[in-house]
Amino acid sequence: MAEGPIDRPFKAGTLRPTTFLLGYTKPKMLIRALVFDFDGTILDTETPEFQAWQEVYAEFGASLPLPIWAESIGRGHDTVTFDPYSYLEAQTGQRIDYQTVRMRKRERFTTLILQEKPRAGVVAYLEQARDLGLGLAVASSSDRAWVEGHLKRLNLLSYFALTRCSDDVTRTKPSPDLYLSACEGLGVAPGEAVAFEDSLNGLRAAKAAGLYSVATPNAITKFLPLEPEADLFLPSLADLSLPDLLNRATLPASSDRPTTGFSPSSVASV
């Protein structure tokens, strides 16, 4: 006679045993850490930036198509190939004053981004991760001053054990370097970590590093083909609790895996 589920409390760093069934496969690895992208994932900086550029282009009677802009999302300055100034000149057929355009875009972008709050579900995930004793890090292609400045403004910096930014590596996303550095700093193997990303370049970086990848698109990147690149696609982190996500991340990919595992109700105070 098969045994039923073992009802034991979930402890940080351990996986609550699943139902013992014929064909049960041992979980791939336990999750010990979460690594978040910053721009577009923790804070939607992508929409304000694209909107600011669209408004600048409109002043010149031109347009900036999303597919053209999207290729640069998630990349650092070292890997970006799209130049919005040159593209604007090509669209209008005239030379532009780069400094004037830069200032106009920056002013509008600053106004828009200061109105943004952490994306839905982010704070809940950070609080639950802290309660579960999971390591937390940021892996961003932006520079540290930008990332940590906004994290401080949003009162989120204290959740993270470390940040890995463009200042720390020679190659940013889609290279895996940022994620590898974050995992090394947390003292976990890449396979013991979950990455949260909103862009194709970010997902490719996380997958190349060996992390379980979660795509959580924003208003801009929801139009990109993220789902095929991710291990899990969530329109919003508010759609799935962290304990349930961990259950999915730690169970094997086999279609005959048991569906019972630890649930939100098995985690005290979460």
| List 7, 39, 78, 177, catalytic entry | 39
Q: Which structural domains are found in the chain, ordered by start?
A: 33-44+118-258 (3.40.50.1000), 46-113 (1.10.150)
| List 7, 37, 78, 198, catalytic entry | 37
39 is catalytic: yes
Does position 241 have pLDDT exceeding 80, yes or no? yes
pLDDT tens digits, 199-238:
999 999 999 999 999 999 998 888 888 999 999 999 999 9
pLDDT tens digits, 38-62:
999 999 998 998 999 999 999 999 9
State the DSSP code for 118.
B
- Where do the DSSP E strands lie in the chain? 33-36, 135-139, 162-164, 193-197, 212-215, 232-233
Does position 196 have pLDDT exceeding 80, yes or no? yes
The whole model's pTM is what?
0.76
* CB within 8 Å of 206: residues ≥ 6 apart: 35, 139, 176, 179, 195, 197, 213
143 is catalytic: no
CA distance 73 to 79: 10
Exposure letters 164-203 (e unless 16+ CB within 10 A, then b): bbbebbeebbbbbbbbbbbbebbebebebbbbbbbbbbbb
